[in-house]
Structure 1
Amino acid sequence: MGEIGSDPDFKLVSAACAGDREAFAALLERHYDRIHGLAWHLTGSRADADDIAQDVCCTLVEKIGSFRGEAKFTTWLIGITFNACRDWRRRRGSFRLFTEKMAVLAGIAAAPDGRDLYDAIWLKSAIAKLKPALRDTAVLVAGQQLSHAEAAAILKVAEATVSWRMHEVRRILSAAGETDT
Protein backbone atom coordinates (compact mmCIF):
# COMPACT_ATOMS: atom_id res chain seq x y z
CA MET A 1 0.00 0.00 0.00
CA GLY A 2 3.03 2.24 -0.32
CA GLU A 3 1.74 4.25 -3.27
CA ILE A 4 -1.88 4.71 -2.15
CA GLY A 5 -1.29 8.04 -0.42
CA SER A 6 0.22 9.52 -3.58
CA ASP A 7 -2.40 8.08 -5.92
CA PRO A 8 -4.60 10.89 -7.26
CA ASP A 9 -7.36 8.34 -7.92
CA PHE A 10 -7.48 6.99 -4.36
CA LYS A 11 -10.76 8.62 -3.33
CA LEU A 12 -12.55 7.75 -6.57
CA VAL A 13 -11.31 4.16 -6.48
CA SER A 14 -12.36 3.75 -2.86
CA ALA A 15 -15.82 5.10 -3.63
CA ALA A 16 -16.14 2.97 -6.77
CA CYS A 17 -15.14 -0.15 -4.83
CA ALA A 18 -17.89 0.70 -2.35
CA GLY A 19 -20.43 0.73 -5.19
CA ASP A 20 -20.53 4.45 -6.02
CA ARG A 21 -21.56 4.53 -9.69
CA GLU A 22 -20.71 8.21 -10.12
CA ALA A 23 -17.18 7.61 -8.84
CA PHE A 24 -16.82 4.66 -11.23
CA ALA A 25 -18.07 6.81 -14.12
CA ALA A 26 -15.60 9.54 -13.16
CA LEU A 27 -12.75 7.00 -13.19
CA LEU A 28 -13.75 5.79 -16.64
CA GLU A 29 -14.02 9.34 -17.93
CA ARG A 30 -10.63 10.23 -16.45
CA HIS A 31 -8.83 7.18 -17.87
CA TYR A 32 -10.69 6.20 -21.04
CA ASP A 33 -8.24 8.02 -23.33
CA ARG A 34 -5.32 6.19 -21.68
CA ILE A 35 -7.06 2.82 -22.14
CA HIS A 36 -7.94 3.55 -25.75
CA GLY A 37 -4.54 5.04 -26.54
CA LEU A 38 -2.63 2.04 -25.22
CA ALA A 39 -4.92 -0.35 -27.08
CA TRP A 40 -4.44 1.67 -30.27
CA HIS A 41 -0.65 1.65 -29.90
CA LEU A 42 -0.57 -2.08 -29.29
CA THR A 43 -2.99 -3.03 -32.06
CA GLY A 44 -2.38 -0.31 -34.63
CA SER A 45 -6.09 -0.17 -35.36
CA ARG A 46 -8.62 2.36 -34.13
CA ALA A 47 -11.48 -0.12 -34.59
CA ASP A 48 -9.68 -2.79 -32.57
CA ALA A 49 -8.75 -0.21 -29.93
CA ASP A 50 -12.43 0.76 -29.69
CA ASP A 51 -13.38 -2.87 -29.08
CA ILE A 52 -10.61 -3.47 -26.56
CA ALA A 53 -11.35 -0.25 -24.68
CA GLN A 54 -15.02 -1.26 -24.43
CA ASP A 55 -14.01 -4.71 -23.16
CA VAL A 56 -11.66 -3.18 -20.58
CA CYS A 57 -14.41 -0.86 -19.33
CA CYS A 58 -16.74 -3.83 -18.92
CA THR A 59 -14.00 -5.89 -17.25
CA LEU A 60 -13.28 -3.01 -14.91
CA VAL A 61 -16.81 -3.27 -13.53
CA GLU A 62 -15.97 -6.79 -12.37
CA LYS A 63 -12.35 -6.16 -11.33
CA ILE A 64 -12.51 -2.80 -9.54
CA GLY A 65 -13.23 -4.57 -6.28
CA SER A 66 -10.00 -6.55 -6.60
CA PHE A 67 -7.83 -3.43 -6.70
CA ARG A 68 -5.63 -3.72 -3.60
CA GLY A 69 -3.65 -0.51 -3.93
CA GLU A 70 -0.28 -2.23 -4.26
CA ALA A 71 0.42 0.08 -7.19
CA LYS A 72 -1.10 3.28 -8.49
CA PHE A 73 -4.52 2.81 -10.04
CA THR A 74 -3.20 3.91 -13.44
CA THR A 75 -0.48 1.25 -13.34
CA TRP A 76 -3.04 -1.39 -12.40
CA LEU A 77 -5.36 -0.19 -15.18
CA ILE A 78 -2.55 -0.23 -17.75
CA GLY A 79 -1.88 -3.83 -16.71
CA ILE A 80 -5.51 -4.77 -17.32
CA THR A 81 -5.47 -3.00 -20.69
CA PHE A 82 -2.14 -4.57 -21.65
CA ASN A 83 -3.47 -8.04 -20.81
CA ALA A 84 -6.63 -7.36 -22.83
CA CYS A 85 -4.45 -6.45 -25.81
CA ARG A 86 -2.31 -9.54 -25.30
CA ASP A 87 -5.47 -11.67 -25.26
CA TRP A 88 -6.70 -9.90 -28.38
CA ARG A 89 -3.40 -10.70 -30.13
CA ARG A 90 -3.69 -14.35 -29.18
CA ARG A 91 -7.26 -14.53 -30.43
CA ARG A 92 -6.44 -12.61 -33.55
CA GLY A 93 -3.27 -14.54 -34.28
CA SER A 94 -1.43 -11.52 -35.60
CA PHE A 95 0.16 -8.30 -34.51
CA ARG A 96 -0.95 -5.48 -36.78
CA LEU A 97 0.46 -2.16 -37.79
CA PHE A 98 1.34 0.08 -34.89
CA THR A 99 4.88 0.89 -35.92
CA GLU A 100 4.33 4.50 -36.98
CA LYS A 101 2.88 5.37 -33.59
CA MET A 102 5.47 3.27 -31.80
CA ALA A 103 8.32 5.17 -33.42
CA VAL A 104 7.08 8.48 -32.09
CA LEU A 105 6.31 7.04 -28.67
CA ALA A 106 9.69 5.39 -28.32
CA GLY A 107 11.35 8.70 -29.11
CA ILE A 108 13.21 7.33 -32.10
CA ALA A 109 11.40 9.37 -34.71
CA ALA A 110 12.56 12.89 -35.36
CA ALA A 111 10.11 15.75 -35.35
CA PRO A 112 8.41 16.18 -38.74
CA ASP A 113 10.93 17.68 -41.15
CA GLY A 114 9.81 16.60 -44.60
CA ARG A 115 11.27 13.10 -44.32
CA ASP A 116 8.21 11.64 -42.63
CA LEU A 117 7.41 9.07 -45.32
CA TYR A 118 10.99 7.80 -45.44
CA ASP A 119 11.20 7.74 -41.65
CA ALA A 120 7.86 5.96 -41.34
CA ILE A 121 8.93 3.27 -43.81
CA TRP A 122 12.29 2.79 -42.09
CA LEU A 123 10.76 2.70 -38.62
CA LYS A 124 7.99 0.35 -39.67
CA SER A 125 10.60 -2.02 -41.03
CA ALA A 126 12.92 -1.72 -38.02
CA ILE A 127 10.19 -2.09 -35.41
CA ALA A 128 8.57 -4.97 -37.26
CA LYS A 129 11.82 -6.86 -36.72
CA LEU A 130 11.68 -6.47 -32.93
CA LYS A 131 10.56 -9.44 -30.91
CA PRO A 132 7.11 -8.98 -29.29
CA ALA A 133 8.63 -8.79 -25.80
CA LEU A 134 10.81 -5.85 -26.87
CA ARG A 135 7.90 -4.08 -28.59
CA ASP A 136 5.65 -4.55 -25.56
CA THR A 137 8.31 -3.26 -23.19
CA ALA A 138 8.98 -0.19 -25.33
CA VAL A 139 5.26 0.62 -25.55
CA LEU A 140 4.89 0.51 -21.77
CA VAL A 141 8.09 2.40 -20.92
CA ALA A 142 8.30 4.91 -23.76
CA GLY A 143 4.67 5.05 -24.82
CA GLN A 144 2.91 4.91 -21.47
CA GLN A 145 5.83 6.49 -19.58
CA LEU A 146 5.82 3.83 -16.89
CA SER A 147 8.86 3.32 -14.72
CA HIS A 148 10.87 0.19 -15.31
CA ALA A 149 9.46 -1.19 -12.04
CA GLU A 150 5.85 -0.55 -13.13
CA ALA A 151 6.44 -2.10 -16.55
CA ALA A 152 8.12 -5.10 -14.91
CA ALA A 153 5.08 -5.69 -12.73
CA ILE A 154 2.75 -5.64 -15.73
CA LEU A 155 5.01 -7.83 -17.85
CA LYS A 156 5.68 -10.16 -14.89
CA VAL A 157 9.46 -9.93 -15.32
CA ALA A 158 12.29 -8.51 -13.23
CA GLU A 159 12.95 -4.78 -13.38
CA ALA A 160 16.45 -5.58 -14.68
CA THR A 161 14.81 -7.42 -17.58
CA VAL A 162 12.88 -4.29 -18.54
CA SER A 163 16.09 -2.25 -18.38
CA TRP A 164 17.86 -4.79 -20.57
CA ARG A 165 14.98 -4.87 -23.06
CA MET A 166 14.98 -1.07 -23.40
CA HIS A 167 18.74 -1.17 -23.93
CA GLU A 168 18.21 -3.80 -26.63
CA VAL A 169 15.48 -1.73 -28.34
CA ARG A 170 17.80 1.28 -28.50
CA ARG A 171 20.74 -0.85 -29.68
CA ILE A 172 18.76 -2.64 -32.37
CA LEU A 173 17.08 0.50 -33.70
CA SER A 174 20.33 2.45 -33.58
CA ALA A 175 22.16 -0.29 -35.48
CA ALA A 176 19.35 -0.50 -38.04
CA GLY A 177 19.54 3.27 -38.51
CA GLU A 178 23.28 3.18 -39.10
CA THR A 179 23.01 0.55 -41.81
CA ASP A 180 20.29 2.49 -43.64
CA THR A 181 22.13 5.81 -43.78
Structure 2
Amino acid sequence: MLDVKRTRRLILLGQILDDRLRLKIREELGETYSPTSYHVASDTFPGYGYMTAMATLKPEQVEQVKPMFLEIAEGIIKEGISDDEFQRAREPQLQQLVQMRRDNRYWLTRVLPNCQSQPYRLEWCRSLVDDFTGIKKEELNDLAKTYLGGAKSITMGLLPELEKAPEGAGKAAAAGSVSK
Protein backbone atom coordinates (compact mmCIF):
# COMPACT_ATOMS: atom_id res chain seq x y z
CA MET A 1 0.00 0.00 0.00
CA LEU A 2 2.83 2.38 0.77
CA ASP A 3 3.92 2.23 -2.87
CA VAL A 4 0.67 3.87 -3.89
CA LYS A 5 1.59 4.16 -7.58
CA ARG A 6 2.14 0.38 -7.82
CA THR A 7 -0.98 -0.27 -5.76
CA ARG A 8 -3.11 1.82 -8.11
CA ARG A 9 -1.73 -0.03 -11.12
CA LEU A 10 -2.37 -3.40 -9.47
CA ILE A 11 -5.96 -2.32 -8.83
CA LEU A 12 -6.37 -1.64 -12.54
CA LEU A 13 -4.66 -4.94 -13.43
CA GLY A 14 -7.16 -6.69 -11.14
CA GLN A 15 -9.99 -5.12 -13.10
CA ILE A 16 -8.51 -6.36 -16.37
CA LEU A 17 -8.24 -9.87 -14.92
CA ASP A 18 -11.83 -9.50 -13.72
CA ASP A 19 -12.95 -8.59 -17.25
CA ARG A 20 -11.19 -11.60 -18.77
CA LEU A 21 -12.73 -13.91 -16.15
CA ARG A 22 -16.16 -12.57 -16.99
CA LEU A 23 -15.63 -13.04 -20.72
CA LYS A 24 -14.30 -16.59 -20.43
CA ILE A 25 -16.05 -18.18 -17.46
CA ARG A 26 -19.34 -16.33 -17.46
CA GLU A 27 -20.11 -15.38 -21.04
CA GLU A 28 -18.27 -18.02 -23.06
CA LEU A 29 -18.85 -21.03 -20.82
CA GLY A 30 -21.90 -19.83 -18.92
CA GLU A 31 -20.49 -21.59 -15.87
CA THR A 32 -21.05 -18.91 -13.25
CA TYR A 33 -22.77 -15.59 -12.90
CA SER A 34 -20.17 -13.68 -10.93
CA PRO A 35 -16.47 -14.40 -11.41
CA THR A 36 -14.44 -11.61 -9.87
CA SER A 37 -10.90 -10.42 -9.32
CA TYR A 38 -9.39 -7.69 -7.19
CA HIS A 39 -6.15 -6.53 -5.60
CA VAL A 40 -5.73 -6.07 -1.84
CA ALA A 41 -2.74 -4.09 -0.53
CA SER A 42 -1.70 -4.06 3.11
CA ASP A 43 -0.95 -0.76 4.80
CA THR A 44 0.21 -2.69 7.88
CA PHE A 45 2.80 -5.02 6.38
CA PRO A 46 5.13 -3.32 3.86
CA GLY A 47 5.44 -5.18 0.56
CA TYR A 48 2.48 -7.48 1.29
CA GLY A 49 -0.63 -7.75 -0.82
CA TYR A 50 -2.45 -10.21 -3.03
CA MET A 51 -4.56 -10.50 -6.15
CA THR A 52 -7.62 -12.70 -5.81
CA ALA A 53 -9.70 -14.25 -8.57
CA MET A 54 -12.74 -16.36 -7.69
CA ALA A 55 -16.12 -17.64 -8.77
CA THR A 56 -19.04 -19.44 -7.19
CA LEU A 57 -19.79 -22.64 -9.09
CA LYS A 58 -21.75 -25.85 -8.96
CA PRO A 59 -19.57 -28.49 -7.23
CA GLU A 60 -19.28 -30.53 -10.43
CA GLN A 61 -17.86 -27.49 -12.29
CA VAL A 62 -14.96 -26.78 -9.94
CA GLU A 63 -12.41 -29.14 -11.50
CA GLN A 64 -13.21 -27.93 -15.02
CA VAL A 65 -13.10 -24.22 -14.20
CA LYS A 66 -10.28 -24.14 -11.60
CA PRO A 67 -7.38 -24.34 -14.12
CA MET A 68 -8.94 -21.53 -16.16
CA PHE A 69 -7.95 -18.94 -13.54
CA LEU A 70 -4.24 -19.50 -14.12
CA GLU A 71 -4.76 -19.88 -17.88
CA ILE A 72 -6.48 -16.50 -18.00
CA ALA A 73 -3.76 -14.85 -15.88
CA GLU A 74 -1.03 -16.42 -18.01
CA GLY A 75 -2.88 -15.20 -21.11
CA ILE A 76 -2.45 -11.65 -19.86
CA ILE A 77 1.27 -12.31 -19.41
CA LYS A 78 1.74 -13.90 -22.85
CA GLU A 79 -0.63 -11.81 -24.99
CA GLY A 80 -0.46 -8.55 -23.11
CA ILE A 81 -3.39 -6.24 -22.52
CA SER A 82 -5.28 -4.98 -25.56
CA ASP A 83 -6.07 -1.29 -26.01
CA ASP A 84 -9.77 -2.11 -25.79
CA GLU A 85 -9.60 -3.97 -22.48
CA PHE A 86 -7.29 -1.31 -21.05
CA GLN A 87 -9.88 1.37 -21.85
CA ARG A 88 -12.75 -0.82 -20.57
CA ALA A 89 -10.99 -1.09 -17.21
CA ARG A 90 -9.56 2.43 -16.97
CA GLU A 91 -12.47 4.65 -17.99
CA PRO A 92 -15.03 3.36 -15.44
CA GLN A 93 -12.32 3.52 -12.77
CA LEU A 94 -11.63 7.17 -13.58
CA GLN A 95 -15.34 8.01 -13.47
CA GLN A 96 -15.66 6.20 -10.14
CA LEU A 97 -12.68 8.11 -8.69
CA VAL A 98 -14.09 11.48 -9.70
CA GLN A 99 -17.43 10.58 -8.11
CA MET A 100 -15.78 9.10 -5.02
CA ARG A 101 -13.90 12.35 -4.33
CA ARG A 102 -17.24 14.22 -4.35
CA ASP A 103 -18.65 11.90 -1.68
CA ASN A 104 -18.15 12.68 2.01
CA ARG A 105 -17.75 8.99 2.75
CA TYR A 106 -14.40 8.92 0.89
CA TRP A 107 -13.05 11.85 2.89
CA LEU A 108 -14.46 10.64 6.21
CA THR A 109 -13.39 7.00 5.92
CA ARG A 110 -10.30 7.01 3.67
CA VAL A 111 -8.49 10.32 4.13
CA LEU A 112 -9.29 12.18 7.35
CA PRO A 113 -9.07 9.38 9.96
CA ASN A 114 -5.40 8.72 9.23
CA CYS A 115 -4.08 12.00 7.85
CA GLN A 116 -2.58 13.20 11.13
CA SER A 117 -0.54 10.05 11.78
CA GLN A 118 0.02 9.36 8.06
CA PRO A 119 0.20 12.79 6.37
CA TYR A 120 1.26 11.22 3.05
CA ARG A 121 -2.38 10.13 2.66
CA LEU A 122 -3.24 13.76 1.90
CA GLU A 123 -0.87 13.67 -1.07
CA TRP A 124 -2.36 10.33 -2.11
CA CYS A 125 -5.81 11.90 -2.39
CA ARG A 126 -4.40 14.90 -4.26
CA SER A 127 -2.62 12.69 -6.83
CA LEU A 128 -5.36 10.07 -7.17
CA VAL A 129 -7.07 11.12 -10.40
CA ASP A 130 -3.92 12.38 -12.15
CA ASP A 131 -2.02 9.21 -11.31
CA PHE A 132 -4.80 6.93 -12.56
CA THR A 133 -5.11 9.05 -15.70
CA GLY A 134 -1.37 8.63 -16.33
CA ILE A 135 -1.32 4.82 -16.08
CA LYS A 136 0.06 3.21 -19.23
CA LYS A 137 -0.89 -0.18 -20.59
CA GLU A 138 2.80 -1.16 -20.69
CA GLU A 139 3.07 -0.65 -16.91
CA LEU A 140 0.25 -3.13 -16.39
CA ASN A 141 1.83 -5.65 -18.75
CA ASP A 142 5.05 -5.44 -16.71
CA LEU A 143 3.16 -5.90 -13.45
CA ALA A 144 1.33 -8.91 -14.88
CA LYS A 145 4.67 -10.56 -15.64
CA THR A 146 5.83 -9.89 -12.09
CA TYR A 147 2.72 -10.77 -10.10
CA LEU A 148 0.40 -13.06 -12.08
CA GLY A 149 0.69 -16.77 -12.73
CA GLY A 150 3.52 -19.17 -12.13
CA ALA A 151 5.07 -20.05 -8.79
CA LYS A 152 3.48 -17.10 -6.99
CA SER A 153 -0.04 -18.45 -7.53
CA ILE A 154 -2.18 -20.79 -5.50
CA THR A 155 -5.25 -22.39 -7.03
CA MET A 156 -7.88 -24.15 -4.95
CA GLY A 157 -11.42 -25.39 -5.09
CA LEU A 158 -13.61 -25.38 -2.01
CA LEU A 159 -16.34 -27.98 -1.96
CA PRO A 160 -19.09 -28.47 0.61
CA GLU A 161 -19.44 -31.71 2.49
CA LEU A 162 -22.77 -32.61 0.95
CA GLU A 163 -23.62 -35.42 3.37
CA LYS A 164 -23.36 -33.03 6.34
CA ALA A 165 -25.28 -30.15 4.78
CA PRO A 166 -28.49 -29.25 6.61
CA GLU A 167 -31.78 -29.79 4.85
CA GLY A 168 -32.36 -27.13 2.21
CA ALA A 169 -28.77 -25.76 2.31
CA GLY A 170 -27.26 -24.50 -0.93
CA LYS A 171 -24.78 -26.59 -2.85
CA ALA A 172 -22.50 -23.87 -4.19
CA ALA A 173 -18.75 -24.27 -4.40
CA ALA A 174 -15.96 -21.83 -5.06
CA ALA A 175 -12.81 -21.94 -7.15
CA GLY A 176 -10.17 -19.32 -7.47
CA SER A 177 -6.60 -18.25 -7.56
CA VAL A 178 -4.48 -15.99 -5.41
CA SER A 179 -1.20 -14.38 -6.48
CA LYS A 180 1.15 -13.16 -3.77
TM range (shorter): under 0.3
Instruction: Point out the structure with max Rg over C-alpha.
Output: 2
Q: Which has the higher helix share?
A: 1
| Greater fraction of residues in strand | 2
TM-score normalised per structure 2: 0.26
Greater RCO (CA < 8 Å, at least 6 residues apart): 2
